[in-house]
Amino acid sequence: MTLYKKNLAQLCIGISLALLCQLSNALSPIPPSGTTPTKRTIEYDWMSVSAWDRMHAEDVVVAQYDQVDVLFVGDSITAGWHWPIWEKNFKPLKAANFGIGGDNTGNVLWRLQHGAVGTIQPKLIVVLIGVNNIGGLQESPEQAAAGVTKVVQQLQLAWPNSKILLNAVFPFDQAANSDNRSKVKKLNKIIAKLGDNKTIFFKDYGPLLLQKDGSISPDIMADFLHPTAKGYQVWADAMTPDIQQLLQ
């Protein structure tokens, strides 16, 4: 083989390898991001994709036809309100619950962009989202905060005249010194800056769910993530006066 042909062959091999690498990268799954609107695609043993689709479809109907003055948006913590507490504190306020278990900020963005806005004009939007960015997507506090920011921006775009009560992400894990506790603190410190006390009101009710030593009691969160009825009562007692004031 002449030197020219040898160099040409090496060049062709190099180009082919480069093209194969590009093709491989193009075919590789893109890691989910909390700032990208994303439909639920994971089949959990506790919730199928079809169940998620059904819940979203129910919210779309509410958004299109109901009168909603207070809209709750979030994940399983929002979805799981103990019914007697919800009925006493929020049902009289014409509240709707658009929380779906397992959602991260990307899932909420997708729902808002695919029918969950409808024709309603809520006076107040109560938001609690972000814990699944840390626990599910394994995002950093900064990445999770970017997702929460996107959700707030999307809500403002959909309802520019609505007030937003932005909840700090609740602490989770039993021990006060866990890595997740530290991540939640950093996340909340970032999203606290979104509050302007004009249209966005940031509130951190999380410390009320902790014991004096900073740990979480199973009476408040049985799995150290989701509130029990007692935990929801603590949250409701603290947040309801704020909601009533913001509705004035």
Is the separation of the CB atoms in 191 and 150 below 8 Å? no
Residue 158 near residue 112, CB atoms below 8 Å: yes
> Rounded to whole angstroms, how far apart are CA atoms 169 and 185?
8
Determine the pLDDT at residue 17: 39
Sign of the CA dihedral with 36 first, then 203, 67, and 87 last: positive
Query: Would you say 168 and 131 are in contact if contact means Cβ atoms under 8 Å apart?
Result: no
- Of 97, 98, 86, 107, nearest to 44 by C-alpha is 107
Q: What phi and psi values does residue 201 have, to the nearest 5 degrees? A: -120, 110
Global pTM value: 0.88
DSSP assignment of 29-44, as one string?
PPPP-TTS--------
User: Which residues lie across from 109 on neighbouring strands?
Assistant: none
Q: For the chain, which residues score pLDDT lower than 70?
A: 1-31
As a whole number of angstroms, the distance between CA 40 and CA 133 comes to 14
Pairwise CA distance, residues 109 & 66, whole Å: 21
Residue 74, beta-bridge partner list:
99, 128
Q: What is the pLDDT at residue 32? A: 72
E strand or H helix at 173: none
Residue with tokens 């979030």: 74
3-state DSSP assignment of residue 120: coil
The 163-167 sheet, strands edge to edge: 95-99, 70-74, 124-128, 163-167, 200-203
Structure-token pair, residue 155: 């809500």
Q: What is the pLDDT of residue 233?
A: 98
**Gap between the Cα atoms of 186 and 195, Å rounded:** 16
Catalytic residues: 76, 223, 226
